[in-house]
Structure 1
């Protein structure tokens, strides 16, 4: 919880004063997005942005991560603040003057804003170092978009007592959203985002001429039947109070119109908000695919690749975020989310080890209805850069107000 009279006066104004620094870094990153776990240009830009600050910088060994540690002037807790750095493999069609110059890569999820906000929060906190107790760990991580970057950083000792700054007492992250009003902070306690697993199914039959299906074992009807059977399994085998989404999004079979193929392939995603529902669906997916294939005279090989776990916010940490954000930004700019969302986040790995919270920061452009704005992961998504000052202030406030 915040200390009475915590040193947050003027924090939003302070964040606005470093806005040119924030925007410059954000636009540089936006022009040159990098994918996955190897982000050398982004890493170097982060290191350069921190070069004039009194922080200890540690570079990742196996991935392009950056950990910076700022020591306060009095004893206190260790607070971890996360900003993810990677982009998405997609074209950009925003028409922005600082649009991506890298073909097939775009910062469509706002990670460039996360990095810029976190780096500027480090600047604000360095300016207020005499007000800071304990230490702040700035976690700049690659590979959030499906590459388990946070897990790699944890495996390298990020959260260990013998790590760069010792074991964190709390961990926080902000994620910008183009479909929330600019400058608002939205959060909720408990499950916030889903676990995400990948499903891959190979249906094996026997090929033949399309005019004589009785002489073959056609895997296509078996694969088609699996899609419906899997949806039925969700509605009939999982408690309705434990949300699950199962989507088969990729089906491949055959090469031409008059050939029955030997194999058919299904791929999709499983999203769940509890380990109980997740385990139930693992079993059901294997069972349904196996026996549906057998009913058609075929066989099925099922592979489930575990993805990110459920992102679970600590209740006390959410209270800290919402109270602090209300004090800094105005309580009208803070909202409790009515329900989790079924997207996934690898900050879940951190929150499984350290009490903390992830919150959403509104970044809808001015004059645009948030309900109609191109969302994150759209090739046309645009974020209001003014919202970054709010994010910088919240990040800095979470460190300054901790005890």
Structure 2
């Protein structure tokens, strides 16, 4: 990447930083959860007002896309529509947590907090849109800015895709940044291939026959059967899943009974399944259903299993990852990029976008100055904070990635 262009985008990011911080703090103080985040959407739109952007919305969420057509085009048929099209994404929703940071702009909404950095993601994307709009005449192609709610378990990206918001113009590549307080400030981290796991939720009900706890032989006790199912699932995982294509299955809740001297009729189980490939995902899903039903049946009980489908594997295109690597290195120097040694077993609904469009997601470190990234409160923690100055580099990354793709595509 041309060093001059990298320097230009760094300067553009710094120029937008004050407004970006103000927007991030306004969103942080007023968090919204789920697919409908109208106040957050309004803040983002207000910050974009007056820019040469075409706004499109769908019926399923309060998400929207803002389309920038480069080359001086003011209409869909202009020269900007003849080049490549790239998508940049920022999510907008918060988590159902009560904030404990003590910040002066902490959440004013009990039970809601931006503990995953989506406030920063939205603010950085707005900053990038402003910086790129200022260079509109020099852009040969189209940029789609995707402002998406409902990432935290609500499948917001899937809904926006179903609403047709990525259909016209159809992006040829897609990119996203995700902050991390556990990475050194400013360092971009990613990897080709699987970056994050699929995220299925497991439900099971074991039905037996309750009775007096002193006479269990007259009952069909579901509690030891539930315990045996947990063991059988872990044995299957350890012995039939290849170590080179791993999975994580955790039963996180078992509920049953209400008194010390009563055997309950039923036990319910809840858990999560994480995998890094669709073949292993299918293998583990089938095993969960089979083990719950058949272990229960072996003891004369009934096992009912259900899988709530979560996000697919977040898989980065190798060419798109190389593009992000080049941009991060140009902006941050030799320490500007680091390869993630292994996938993380968390999940992301940007996976829905990457399932349809080649692209990549990367993490950008936001460890506060003087802190230890390894021990900072992590994402989804009530005390999570970020170094806000890093958002200037995030803006520069968005801009340089978009410009590089419009000029060169993904290459080989």
Compute the displacement of 1:5 (Å): 7.2
Compute the displacement of 1:339 (Å): 0.7
More off after superposition, 38-47 vs 285-294: 285-294
CA distance in 2, matches of 1:21, 1:361: 20
1:377 is aligned to 380
Compute the displacement of 1:283 (Å): 1.4
TM-score (norm 2): 0.94
Matches within 5 A, 1:4-403: 7-73=5-71, 75-160=82-167, 163=168, 166-402=169-405, 403=407
CA distance in 1, matches of 2:151, 2:170: 22
The alignment partner of 1:82 has SS state of strand
CA distance in 1, matches of 2:163, 2:334: 39
Q: Is the 8 A contact 2:251 2:270 kept in 1?
A: yes
The alignment partner of 1:9 has SS state of helix
Aligned length: 397
Q: Is the 8 A contact 1:37 1:142 kept in 2?
A: yes
| CA shift digits 1:164-204 (9 cap, x unpaired) | xx110110000001100011100100111101101000000
Compute the displacement of 1:243 (Å): 1.0
Compute the displacement of 1:256 (Å): 1.4
CA distance in 2, matches of 1:20, 1:5: 25
The alignment partner of 1:8 has SS state of helix
| Unaligned 5+ runs, structure 2 | 72-79, 408-412
Compute the displacement of 1:76 (Å): 2.4
Structure in which a larger fraction of residues adopt helix: 2
The alignment partner of 2:179 has SS state of strand
Q: Is the 8 A contact 1:308 1:344 kept in 2?
A: yes
Compute the displacement of 1:144 (Å): 0.4
Compute the displacement of 1:6 (Å): 7.8
2:76 is aligned to none
| CA shift digits 1:76-119 (9 cap, x unpaired) | 21110000000000111011111100000000000000000000
TM-score (norm 1): 0.96
User: Aligned-residue CA RMSD in angstroms?
Assistant: 1.2
